[in-house]
Structure 1
Amino acid sequence: MQSTLEIRMLGTFEACVDGEVLVPLHSRKEHWLLALLTLRYGRHLERDWLAGTLWPESEQSQALGYMRQCLAALRKQLGAHAERIQSPTRNTLSFDVRGIAIDFIAFDADLKNGELSGMERAVGLYRGMLLEGCTEEWVSLEREAREQAYLNALDRLATNALANDGASKAVGYLKRVIAVDRLQEKAHRDLMRAYVASGDYGASVQVYRDLRTYLHSELNAEPDAETNTLYQLLRAEAQRRRQAVVLAKPPPVVEMPDAETPTAIKKWLSRIPLPLNRLIGRDAEREEVRNRVASARLVTLTGTGGVGKTRLSLQAAEDMFEDFSGGAWFVELAALSDPNLLVQTVAAALEITEKPNQSLLSTLLQFLGARRALLILDNCEHLVEACAKFADAVLRSCEGLHILTTSRERLGLTGEVMWQVPSLKVPPAQWIAAREKEMTSLLEYSAVQLFVERAKQVDPTFRVNGTNVLAAAQVCTRLDGIPLAIELAAARVSLLSVPQILERLDNRFRLLTGGNRTSLPRQQTLRALIDWSYDLLNAQERELLQRLSVFSGGWTFEAAEQIGSSERIEDWETLDLMSELIAKSLVMAEIGEGERRFRLLETVRQYAEEKLEESGESEAVRTVHRDYFLKFAEGASPKLRGAEQTDWFQRLDMEHDNLRSGIEWSLAESDGQASLRFCGALDWYWWTRGRYAEGRMWCDRTLEVSAGSELLNECIKERATTLNAAGSYSAAQGECAASWRYHEECLKMCREAHYLSGVAQALRDLGSMAEAMGDLDQARDYYREAHVAYQDIGSTFGSTHALGNLGRLDKVQGDYEAAKISLEACSKTFRALRNLHLAVGSLSCLGGIALIQGDYAVAKARFEESLSVFRGVRDHSGVASSLGYLGNLALYQGDFAVAHAYFEERVAIRRTLADREYLAEALNDLGRLALAINDYASAKAYFDESLPLSKQVGASLARGGALSGLGSVALEWGDCPSVRAFFEEALTIYWKSGIRLSIAESLEMFGRLAVKESRMEHAVTLLGAAHGLREALGAPLPPYKQQGYEQTLSEARRAMDNAVFLEAWAQGCALPLDSAIEYALSRCPTS
């Protein structure tokens, strides 16, 4: 059977060979290359143009290299169809489309003759914009042309359908136009007319409302005059038809006002206040409220004060106007203090007066009758019982009535649907602090949009710029996205800049005053807003709220029981009291997996914190909080190295803000013992999470506070852990001298105190320092001594860790068999200890050996398992290490695009961690990749960045890699004197450290240099020495280096007599290691 190929480009790209979808082997560029060839079918395309178009930011040589990789991958996927990619000339490519089903070609053909049948087929083919998801510049013109052709066809088809009584078909066509271009008002008007033609006036009005909402939110604009005129005409007709039904059956008791005009009828039917400002960022919430009101007769909007419950309910009434033919009314209850006057207040809002011999409630019920109507009761929290009784009475009597209430707590009726109004969306605080987002990205958040719009209303000269928007985003985040608080803050732009407003937020209750004078008094200042809620609490609820203010970043119920209980609150009472605070929208319950967490909005927390200070119990409560989380941290510490480590790492993540508060309080109280215990318990957590700077900061402050402590002898274990931790963090930050001082101080202290576990840990950490600085012999001595010390105290965990360090040294120095024995034993022991995290650390090293020895399948399996585990426990350093291994595996196999992706992610992590030693190594890997694809400029840039980093942190092995790389670049550029200097310094580093594989690579580089200098016999001797060393190590040349190596060797062989070549080769293979190094350094002249 003949093979088939189908290519679909209208919508997301899809190519199928014999029905099987092609998946890119390396990157989406393979799809884009095929797409570009297909779009330009029938033409001869220059290779340079293709490469430059697809990789515009790369050097031409690099772009061509990438394209060659993509072509190879693409041909492999196309199978029998690979021959369709043709090379008419050496420098051009073309694509043969004969016999292929290609959607855009059929689309173009169907539209070409202008027939309606062809247009039907064409719009059926259009699954979406051309190459949806492709952001390349070259696709834009082609995409726009097809999209416009599609819209034109839909317009023609809709016009024809309307002219031939096909209103429903026209609706379908026009909806498709609007789905593509929501700003095309003509299509909206045509859709409104089509709905009218089908008899659906309500839908026609809704089209206008949706358009107006969209224009407001996206452009702060209104529909044009023609659209507004059509809307008014259609709406008046819709109201006229509806009122004709209403007036045919008037209420039996209450007389209707004169309703000769639609305006009069609207006035009679509804009493909804007109908002002065447009609603920002609530599209999803509007839809949610509408759906809930449609499906339930009593809906309560809850939420903290100022979150926008009232404004959302007003908008909901406007949105649902057409849904309630009997009218909609809004009843403001905030000013009502006497629950006995509730019915009178509602009746007044509906303009109902009491009749003789009939209660006002009866009159009200008769008025509503069976009418399909909406009643909004706003601000019910201080009248909950009265509102509940009233709602129950009217809902039982008026079958068509729906009630929407706003309250800080639910009414508690059967059938009530409660929905908590969320705050506006704010940017994540962590990347605001890191300045990671552009101004346009920040403006996508509704809270920031609200601030900017209200600021412009207060000060028309207010201009949006990067500084303003960044500060506004921080203001909105710190105000928890509460609309009222944001509006109060924005009102200050007439006097203060936005950064100044941000600076003053610590005193937010004084800053955020002076709201709209027409608002309720409690909505004019932030403090009054929370006073309103606080005053409704009983004494126990107030005290619990105060005590909860000491939490940072939320809490669990267990923590609330411990810290919330007091002489006046039993721990068993906490559940009910906290439930009340949640019901009153003061405590937020967070929905997520696992144990339920709770939190206070920051504004509420600061208010409660002030009240706690006023009570005089702040210090006592903070101490209880500190003690609880110290116990929690110490309980978690051993579990971070066992079977439950993933779960406990996540629990510490959740409580990290509380743990910080606990340490801070210990330091503020000069409690050195408690702060040492915190640092000792959290050391492994900080290290695994890559929090080097933070960990060192806490350790330094703690060591300073505890230095003169009388309890020092009782805290030897914790002080030893803290010193060693500070040393490790310093090393990661590249401060080697400080790291040595910490570890040596720890070793001295522990030996004097005969604390053997601390001695062993200090020795192991000193070994790591020596290893990083390239003194592998000293490192080995430290590791061996640590291994013995751990064995002496019976610490299986410690001795296994030290054994793993020794195995890693064996790997680095090329003793792979010894390394395998140690590392396999480590992996087995750590698995038995249920510490998968450290087990896969050993596994990664074993994978590295498999990579060196050419067993790529085993290497890949080990690297991928390691990466999975490290990602699972969010060990960022471990993730970066695994990415480096996988990148090198891809590099070895010639999968350069894959290698680049791994290396880039690795570098990004190292930069985030500020881990300068391993960043230097990661940059070297990117440099080696750039060398492999002949991108010498990029390679030099990577090595130039790596070299000073490696010097600063004393990482001699990384320095050797950078020097070798710079020498290779200089060799390609013909700068032989520089080449020799770089290579000699690198080889000296490797020789001193005994890193035999790197020595072999250096000898190969010297061989290439000798060929470049036409010193062929020397070159062959050096290459032979490298070959012999690789044979001894069992480390074959990686495939990606094979071609270059063979070219170098062939060039030398062609220039020599065969007998001389064989003699030089044999001589090189037989050279002892030291002799080969001396030969390389002494036989390559420097002049």
Structure 2
Amino acid sequence: MLGPVELTGPDGTTALAGGPRDLLCVLALRAGETVSRALLREAGREPSTLDRDAAVLSSALARCGLRGSLEVRPAGYRLVTRQIDVRRFQSAVRRAQACRRGGDLAGAVRLYDRALVLWRGPEPLAEARVSGWAGAEVRRLRESRTVALEDRWDCALRLARAAVRASGAPVADREAVAAGIAAAADAIDAIPVLEEAVEAHPLRERRWELLLVATFLSGRRREALAVFERARQTFLDQLGVEPGERLRALAGAAERGDLAEADPDQVRPATMTPVRAAHLATLPVPLTSLLGRDALLDALAGWLRDRRLVTLVGPGGAGKTRLAIAAARQVRGPVPWFVELSSVESPVRVAGAVAEALGLRQETSGDAVDAIVDEIGHQDLLLVLDNCEHLLAGCAELVARLLRRCSRLRILATSRAALRVPDELVVPVPPLLPEAAARLFLERAQARSGRPVAEGSAGAVAQLCAELDGLPLAIELAAARTPLLSVPEIVARLRSDLRLLHSPDPTVPDRHRTVSATVESSLRQLDPATQAYFDRLAVFAGFDASAAEAARQAMAAEAPGTDALATLVGASLVERTGDRYRMLVPIRRHALDRLARDGGETAARRVHAAHYLAVAESADSQLRGSGQELGLARLRADAANLRAAMAWLAESGAAAVPHGDLRLSTALAMACRIGGQYREALGWLSAALVRHPDAPAPLRAAAGADAAMLAMLLCDYATAADYAEEARSAYRATGNRRAEARVVMTLGSVARERAQYAISAAHLDAATATCVECGDELGEARAVLLRGFTAWLAGDLERAESRLRACRRWFERLDDPEQAATALMNLGAVALYRGDIDRAGSLLDAALERYAALGFPEGLGWAHNLRGLVELRIGRIDRAEAHLALSLATHREVGDRWRTASVLEALAEVHRTGDPRRAARLLGAAARIRAEIGAPVPACERADLAVTTAGVRAALGGAFDALYAEARTLPLDEALVPRALV
């Protein structure tokens, strides 16, 4: 990854380009972690191609000896390998840094060389397309290489300096100097390399320092001074400032001729006005380590070099102060100067507080800003202003005046809101990622209790960190409870007792004693109407602007202004990501507590449920016609809100929204079918039908029709037929023939899966005729598609192809992407069973891409199943197994046992020659499923299954029957099948 991306193994490099290569890059950046689809999307990976890219990548990894290293989990993808050059580079650099700190400079040089030789170019992940957090990781790697190069040269030059001193030769004696340098290291060769480095990064002061030292040690004192003059002119031309203190000190030592004898880290120019020694120690000394902020800390180092005002912004408890201290400590050059403002009560006192922190004695008539400017002058200094949120006006005024008058001053501020000063760089401090949050909890818990967290608590720790949304303050407060409570006990109590998160440390500031106190300190800066609005928004599990406006307008006369949401975002009480908003979980939990105490929760829940019922019904009309992608995107973005609305309507909201849960479950049924949430949706519908026997007949009929569809997909054919017949009778009674035809299609699908092909065809032909009579073109197209599906499963390939070709064009014109993809998939199946393998592969790849774009698991499972059969036909066993493993995982996740059985039988063919015992068990497991659901082997699959069974039986002899029978009696065990990708 350190250069052009390559995947290498025992047999050399494996070609990998495009999507699979980029997916490898993103997963390798977080090797060992599960990377969610959302994070992959943020990193620039298209959801529509993920599964296909994963299958290709899995096969490539297997060919390189890394079989099983790519795992697909419900939560995302995971690359399990340490054989990554980035890991080797980082390990070598850490060891080199340790040698450097321990004084072993020669060892450090060797280790730096070992790390740097891994780079095959200056740009990591060259040619890969990544963005978002992955792009930040690439920038961090680039910066790590830069720092490693500089550290390597620094070590070599220190060795050279030591050699010069040991030789006792005068600087003018070039031969002796050169001999000393050659004996110590190859530092003399650094000069041309450093010249190129300075040209590439002319404002990176450390490179000028290294070039000056190398030039001096080569015996060229005059040229060394010329290096300083070049650096000085560059900084004046491009920044309007002089070079920093260290470079000036090195130039002074070179001019005096004692640079080789002196330690450059200690020399200071005699003309420099020193800042008081006390100010060098103003940074607080943290008692604990900073975790999970490496990338942000590296980025801050660059920003503080290039920008004069950087403001760290985030909610209370995000770790802004801790991060600012760490950033100030690592900045090279400027003297750090820390001012804590939380105890300052008025904006007009800000300048005075800063002057007092500096130790200035302010005259009554004097201006504190003038005194600060006189003290700082044009010195290279970093001012850290901590906790500015309650003093924004005063801080903004002071910062603007100081930056105008102190040319070398840089300011790092922490605040819950931006200062809004010109040229301010606002840097959000996000919650910790799950792995870092868990490490923080484990470290703090051990420090509090004196013992490690009990083994086996990893799941509970992950759950706890998710409950706390990665907020460092909340995590530390939870860790403080570990001396008395186990992690599962903390999780259980956390949801019902906000007082649990309370610091026992009497030295902690009041605002950090509890998460609630932190939130309240932010709310005190807002007017009462905006505070009430904040409480109302807490019932939303993330929301868009329309939901926020619905909540605001429902407050009627008490509603705040239209800018209230922006105010909450500015105060770091609400986060904005794109066009969505959310509260961190601990903040939201406090807001819900405020809402319950004020008695406003029922009203807020009513507004919430009514809004999302309207959203669901609007989206459902799109899903049942054209515009599927827009409808799905809206519902998926608000999945948590829709579930919350469903739960509230089912338990408490019947009086507030009549038949609301039945309406909402019906409106969500089609989206749940596409999304693969069959069990959940059927549970909602069946419970709501029981609760509302008196609901209007059309509503009950629509709910029953959807329940029939979902029960059929779950292979509960008897229940599906019962729901369908009841809905069919209701529609017939009301004369709704179009809806009746839809139910008949479900009956046709039930018969198809039971291998009752003639009955299925009769139902579907009847539904087609009804749709034609009603002028329902989309319904007609869907019925014809299902008829083609039945035909190829029955082995009637001619009839299937004629119908499916027509359907493909039909659905493209009707703008129904799901059914158009299904037509492609079915045509791929026809081509497969006709022996046209190339055409089958192309059609199925196109279907996979469309299904992935829609996020349609059932379609993806089917297409991977058929794609695996294509690979089996041409003998590519590894690729076949990868596709079939993906198919199996998908079908088991959604609950489609009919297809699960078929995929197990195909996997038995994969293992027929290599592992016949496993193949026998797979066949037995498939037979058990078919017996349980009452669905025989599809006609088109019977010949292949017979060949597989005969081959396995021949390989095992008498052992076959025992293994087959054993698998039919035992539960379907995960050990029988790959967990994910093989």
Q: 2:304 aligns with which of 288, 293, 317?
A: 293
Tell me the residue number matched to 1:744.
Answer: 725
Tell me the residue number matched to 1:942.
Answer: 922
State whether structure 2 residue 941 is matched by structure 1 residue 952.
Answer: no
State whether structure 2 residue 724 is matched by structure 1 residue 698.
Answer: no
Deviation track 1:774-793 (CA, whole Å, cap 9, x = no partner) reads 22222223223322333333
2:477, 2:503 within 8 Å by CA — same for their partners in 1?
Answer: yes
Q: 1:635 aligns with which of 610, 618, 625?
A: 618
Deviation at 1:414, TM superposition (A): 1.5
Deviation track 1:292-311 (CA, whole Å, cap 9, x = no partner) reads 22222222111001001111
Q: 2:526 aligns with which of 537, 549, 570?
A: 537
Q: Which has the larger radius of gyration?
A: 1
2:536, 2:604 within 8 Å by CA — same for their partners in 1?
Answer: yes
Which residue type is aligned with residue 284 of structure 1?
A
SS at match of 1:279: coil
Tell me the residue number matched to 1:241.
Answer: 267
Distance 2:741 2:784 in 1: 12
Deviation at 1:873, TM superposition (A): 0.5
Deviation track 1:187-234 (CA, whole Å, cap 9, x = no partner) reads xxx99x99997999xxxxxxxxxxxxxxxxxxxxxxxxxxxxxxxx99
Tell me the residue number matched to 1:470.
Answer: 459
SS at match of 1:493: coil
SS at match of 1:822: helix
Distance 2:261 2:917 in 1: 67
Q: Structure 1's 127 and 332: CA in aligned 2 closer, same or farther, altered over 3 A?
A: closer
Deviation at 1:250, TM superposition (A): 3.5
Deviation at 1:962, TM superposition (A): 6.2
SS at match of 2:586: helix
Distance 2:115 2:501 in 1: 55
Matches within 5 A, 1:169-184: 169=189
Of all paired residues, the percent bearing the same amino acid is 28
Tell me the residue number matched to 1:773.
Answer: 754
Q: Structure 1's 470 and 172: CA in aligned 2 closer, same or farther, altered over 3 A?
A: farther
State whether structure 2 residue 655 is matched by structure 1 residue 645.
Answer: no
State whether structure 2 residue 451 is matched by structure 1 residue 461.
Answer: yes
Q: 2:894 aligns with which of 903, 913, 925?
A: 913
Q: Structure 1's 16 and 629: CA in aligned 2 closer, same or farther, altered over 3 A?
A: same
Q: Structure 1's 607 and 356: CA in aligned 2 closer, same or farther, altered over 3 A?
A: closer
State whether structure 2 residue 318 is matched by structure 1 residue 319.
Answer: no
Distance 1:236 1:545 in 2: 61
Matches within 5 A, 1:256-295: 265=277, 267-295=278-306
Distance 2:188 2:574 in 1: 50
Q: 1:588 aligns with which of 550, 567, 575?
A: 575
Tell me the residue number matched to 2:776.
Answer: 795
Q: 2:314 aligns with which of 286, 303, 313?
A: 303
Deviation at 1:571, TM superposition (A): 8.3
Matches within 5 A, 1:4-153: 13=8
Q: 2:517 aligns with which of 524, 528, 537?
A: 528
Tell me the residue number matched to 1:557.
Answer: 545
Distance 1:545 1:901 in 2: 48
Distance 1:21 1:523 in 2: 53
Q: Structure 1's 268 and 579: CA in aligned 2 closer, same or farther, altered over 3 A?
A: closer
Distance 1:672 1:330 in 2: 60
Distance 2:352 2:731 in 1: 81
Identify the range of structure 1 (304-313 vs 834-843) with the bigger mean alpha-carbon deviation.
834-843
Distance 2:890 2:561 in 1: 47
Deviation track 1:278-330 (CA, whole Å, cap 9, x = no partner) reads 1111111212222222222222111001001111111112112x321xx3221
Q: Structure 1's 741 and 641: CA in aligned 2 closer, same or farther, altered over 3 A?
A: closer
Deviation track 1:516-543 (CA, whole Å, cap 9, x = no partner) reads 3212111111211111111111122112
Q: 2:485 aligns with which of 473, 496, 501?
A: 496
Tell me the residue number matched to 1:687.
Answer: 673
Deviation at 1:494, TM superposition (A): 0.4
Distance 1:304 1:120 in 2: 39
Q: Structure 1's 844 and 161: CA in aligned 2 closer, same or farther, altered over 3 A?
A: farther
Distance 2:955 2:532 in 1: 75
1:672, 1:702 within 8 Å by CA — same for their partners in 2?
Answer: no
1:168, 1:194 within 8 Å by CA — same for their partners in 2?
Answer: yes
SS at match of 2:481: helix
Which residue type is aligned with residue 774 of structure 1?
A
Q: Structure 1's 22 and 550: CA in aligned 2 closer, same or farther, altered over 3 A?
A: closer
Which residue type is aligned with residue 250 of structure 1?
T
Distance 2:338 2:705 in 1: 67
Deviation track 1:305-357 (CA, whole Å, cap 9, x = no partner) reads 1001111111112112x321xx3221111112133332332122111112587
Q: Structure 1's 607 and 173: CA in aligned 2 closer, same or farther, altered over 3 A?
A: same
Deviation at 1:737, TM superposition (A): 2.8
Q: Structure 1's 781 and 123: CA in aligned 2 closer, same or farther, altered over 3 A?
A: closer
Distance 2:886 2:874 in 1: 19
Deviation at 1:936, TM superposition (A): 1.8
Deviation at 1:683, TM superposition (A): 1.7
Distance 2:115 2:191 in 1: 15
Which residue type is aligned with residue 293 of structure 1?
L
Distance 2:325 2:112 in 1: 44
SS at match of 2:573: coil
Tell me the residue number matched to 1:1085.
Answer: none
Identify the range of structure 1 (327-336 vs 154-163) with the bigger mean alpha-carbon deviation.
154-163
Distance 1:353 1:617 in 2: 53
1:561, 1:571 within 8 Å by CA — same for their partners in 2?
Answer: no
Q: Higher relative contact order at CA 8 Å, sep ≥6: structure 1 or structure 2?
A: 2
Which residue type is aligned with residue 921 of structure 2?
A
Q: Structure 1's 171 and 757: CA in aligned 2 closer, same or farther, altered over 3 A?
A: farther
SS at match of 1:419: strand
Deviation at 1:705, TM superposition (A): 1.9
Tell me the residue number matched to 2:595.
Answer: 612
Matches within 5 A, 1:804-819: 804-819=785-800
Q: Structure 1's 456 and 690: CA in aligned 2 closer, same or farther, altered over 3 A?
A: same
SS at match of 2:359: coil
SS at match of 2:289: coil
Q: Give TM-score, length-normalised by structure 2.
A: 0.71
Give the gaps of 5 or more residues in structure 1. Answer: 1-7, 29-65, 72-118, 134-152, 175-189, 201-232, 258-264, 427-444, 986-1087
Q: 1:839 aligns with which of 815, 820, 835?
A: 820
Deviation at 1:565, TM superposition (A): 1.9
Matches within 5 A, 1:1034-1045: none
Aligned residues: 770
Q: Give TM-score, length-normalised by structure 1.
A: 0.65
Give the gaps of 5 or more residues in structure 2. Answer: 22-58, 65-110, 126-151, 161-179, 195-209, 225-258, 969-982
Distance 1:299 1:627 in 2: 43
Q: Structure 1's 562 and 402: CA in aligned 2 closer, same or farther, altered over 3 A?
A: same
Q: Structure 1's 355 and 876: CA in aligned 2 closer, same or farther, altered over 3 A?
A: same
Tell me the residue number matched to 1:1014.
Answer: none
Deviation track 1:418-476 (CA, whole Å, cap 9, x = no partner) reads 111111112xxxxxxxxxxxxxxxxxx111110000001011122452x3222111111
Distance 1:299 1:450 in 2: 26
Distance 1:464 1:775 in 2: 56
Q: Structure 1's 468 and 197: CA in aligned 2 closer, same or farther, altered over 3 A?
A: farther
Tell me the residue number matched to 2:38.
Answer: none
Tell me the residue number matched to 2:439.
Answer: 449
Q: 1:509 aligns with which of 493, 498, 515?
A: 498
Tell me the residue number matched to 1:784.
Answer: 765
Distance 1:654 1:120 in 2: 47
CA RMSD of aligned residues (A): 4.2
Which residue type is aligned with residue 473 of structure 1?
A
Identify the range of structure 1 (689-698 vs 489-498) with the bigger mean alpha-carbon deviation.
689-698
State whether structure 2 residue 178 is matched by structure 1 residue 163.
Answer: no
Tell me the residue number matched to 1:712.
Answer: 696
